[in-house]
Amino acid sequence: MARHVRRSGIIGGAAVAAASLGVAGYLTFGQSGATSEAHAEPTQQARAAAPVDPSIVHASDRPGKSLNITIDDGPDPVWTPKVLSVLKQHGVKATFCMIGPSAKAHPDLVKQVAAAGHKLCDHTMSHNTGMDHRPESYQSQQIVPAQQMIEQAAGGPKVEYYRAPGGAFTPYSRKVAAERGMRPLGWNVDSKDFERPGTDAIVRTVKRELRNGPTVLFHDGGGDRSQTVGALKRLLPWMKQQGYGFGFPQR
């Protein structure tokens, strides 16, 4: 299983989390190579999307007291629908950072996410948290096919963000993403839900760390996310009670 890597200087001191996944026939974690579908360099047609700022964004596009809820490592046939249900119940939109082969395997879930008004984010092909130590060609092979898979599964909506596994950004990977219209996306608050410390612990962590900034990290993939679902059920109404609104990361 892949381990979650902590990287400072990317998220303003907040920890970086990345969950391991197992999509049959597609995903290999750690230092393994990309899948056989991931060997195409960016094409001129693929780069036709309007480029965006290559710096890592944390701010919200909504003025005032606002949060960005981000959900990583799906889509997952068990947990993504449950997360979507909680978000809908509380009228909150989120950004879903998806693994390319998982999106290809579950296009119905990708369509549900997009149809509900949530944003799509590229979270690479194989979730290699050490990809910043790999060649530029490997980084392209992780980013480009994943974007294509997610957009094909979505059937129209575009992928607007790129989040490196474990915060493993490089200047090159940020440039590749930005040239393809995807803003590199960091985070400020790590819920640590990937550790499954208990719903109470997740809630306490998020409440304590919200002072770090607006972008909050949760997971809907990589294992049992029942604690995440339980924490969202408690945190979203509490956030509203504290006067927070909900937006998307700036583009």
What is the set of active-site residues?
72, 219
In 3D space, the residue among 84, 77, 176 whose CA is nearest the CA of residue 124 turns out to be 176
CA-to-CA distance for 135 and 149, rounded, in angstroms?
Answer: 22
Structure tokens at 235: 């945190």
CA-to-CA distance for 7 and 16, rounded, in angstroms?
Answer: 6
Residue positions counted in the chain: 251
Q: Are strands 159-162 and 119-122 parallel, antiparallel or unpaired?
A: parallel
In 3D space, the residue among 159, 131, 103 whose CA is nearest the CA of residue 34 turns out to be 131
Write b or e for each residue in 28-61: b if 16 or more Cβ atoms lie within 10 A of its Cβ, otherwise e. ebeeeebbebbeeeeeeebeebeebebebbbebe
